[in-house]
Amino acid sequence: MMDAGFTAHGAWYMDDCLNFVDMGYHVPNWTIQGRSFRTNKKTMTATRAPGSVPAALIIESILEHVAKAVQKHPVHVKELNLYENHQVAQGVAHILGVPLDNVKVKPNQGIISPNSLVTGGSIASEVAMQAAISAAEILKERMRPIKEKFPEASWKELCDKCVWSKIDLCARVLNSPDMGGPANYHTYCAAVTETELDVLTGESQIRRVDIMADYGESLNPVIDIGQTEGGFVMGLGNYLTEDTVFDSRTGVILSDGTWNYKPPTTKDIPIDWRIHLLPDTPNPNGIRSSKGQG
């Protein structure tokens, strides 16, 4: 049973719940039914994990303070610390054999790549990576005759010679599963937590966490470990610190701010945190033998 609030807008969440309810367990024979019902509560919307909005507010506030301390414009500080497309750029740089600084990733635009797929289900990196690598391989093959003729030429010189040789240096790629594109597979992760509990006060402290993750041959271990850390902390908030509270009579939400809604902070993360990526587990269905996560 799911509380859908005062509208039926969130009823489709139940369908997603039923699709994933078995998670990592094999259940060959069962029957599941889901029901959504309307109440006097506010209809909630979807989120990838609890605490994302407060977390965004926290980091934005931090960068505003940093900008003031270093006497820089906040936009400049935020651009310097903005997430970059390193995974895609690394793949292209590896295929073309050029420094990473030579690869620039531009934001997606409908004029350039119409009818693009949405980001979700940990597929964005894989779809973008495969398309970029395939396009880079096309360009590499086109440039091969010039490269063989001028093996000592720099990247800029090589591009100039290709242009004068009327070689097309633009490439595009379309992928789908039946064309050898991304396929379905499972990403596995296991965690063991050592927690200290004060039975008199109810206060708890996570002493140590060990996480083993199977991400195939990781495209970028630093990013994959960061995603794992973020997912674990969001889980902490879901089970330990965050709770949505409504007035039982009026349906008004009471936990409407950080005064009474508590996303995890630096004091909630494990004291000893160890994340291991399972070695020697290539994924035959993934991009460069990797697995998506996040």
Angle between helices 124-149 and 86-96 (to 10 degrees): 20
Claim to verify: residue 160 and residue 227 sit in the same structural domain: no
Please indicate, yes or no, if residue 280 is contained in any of the structural domains. yes
Domain count, the chain: 3
Tell me the average confidence (pLDDT) per consecutive run of 10 residues in the chain, 294 residues long: 73 66 60 78 68 62 86 83 69 89 80 66 65 91 94 93 93 67 70 93 93 87 88 86 87 87 90 91 75 71
Claim to verify: residue 133 and residue 224 sit in the same structural domain: no
Please indicate, yes or no, if residue 69 is contained in any of the structural domains. no
Return d(Cα 170, Cα 143) in angstroms, integer: 11
Claim to verify: residue 218 and residue 237 sit in the same structural domain: yes
- Print the domain residue range for 10: 2-37
Claim to verify: residue 256 and residue 212 sit in the same structural domain: yes
Length of the chain: 294
Give residue 272's pLDDT: 95
Give residue 200's pLDDT: 95
Claim to verify: residue 92 and residue 161 sit in the same structural domain: yes
The residues near 181 (Cβ < 8 Å, ≥ 6 apart) are: 127, 130, 175
Please indicate, yes or no, if residue 104 is contained in any of the structural domains. yes
Please indicate, yes or no, if residue 61 is contained in any of the structural domains. no
For residue 110, what is the domain's CATH number?
3.30.365.10
Structure tokens at 286: 């993934």
Maximum C-alpha span of the chain: 80
173 CB-contact burial (10 Å; exposed 0-12 / middle 13-18 / buried 19+): middle
Give residue 18's pLDDT: 66
Please indicate, yes or no, if residue 274 is contained in any of the structural domains. yes
Give residue 178's pLDDT: 53
Give residue 154's pLDDT: 92
**To which residue do tokens 């296991």 refer?**
190
Claim to verify: residue 277 and residue 196 sit in the same structural domain: yes
Give residue 273's pLDDT: 93
Structure tokens at 216: 């195939």
Please indicate, yes or no, if residue 225 is contained in any of the structural domains. yes
Give residue 252's pLDDT: 87
Claim to verify: residue 123 and residue 30 sit in the same structural domain: no
Paired residues of 194 in beta bridges: 208
Please indicate, yes or no, if residue 56 is contained in any of the structural domains. no
Where a domain ends, among 179, 213, 239? 179
Please indicate, yes or no, if residue 155 is contained in any of the structural domains. yes
Claim to verify: residue 198 and residue 271 sit in the same structural domain: yes
Return d(Cα 110, Cα 42) in angstroms, integer: 35
Among the listed residues 85, 80, 86, 39, the one whose alpha carbon sits nearest the alpha carbon of residue 63: 80
Give residue 79's pLDDT: 75
Return d(Cα 242, Cα 47) in angstroms, integer: 14
Q: If you ran DSSP here, which 8-state letter would residue 82 be given?
A: S
The residues near 49 (Cβ < 8 Å, ≥ 6 apart) are: 231, 234, 235, 237, 238
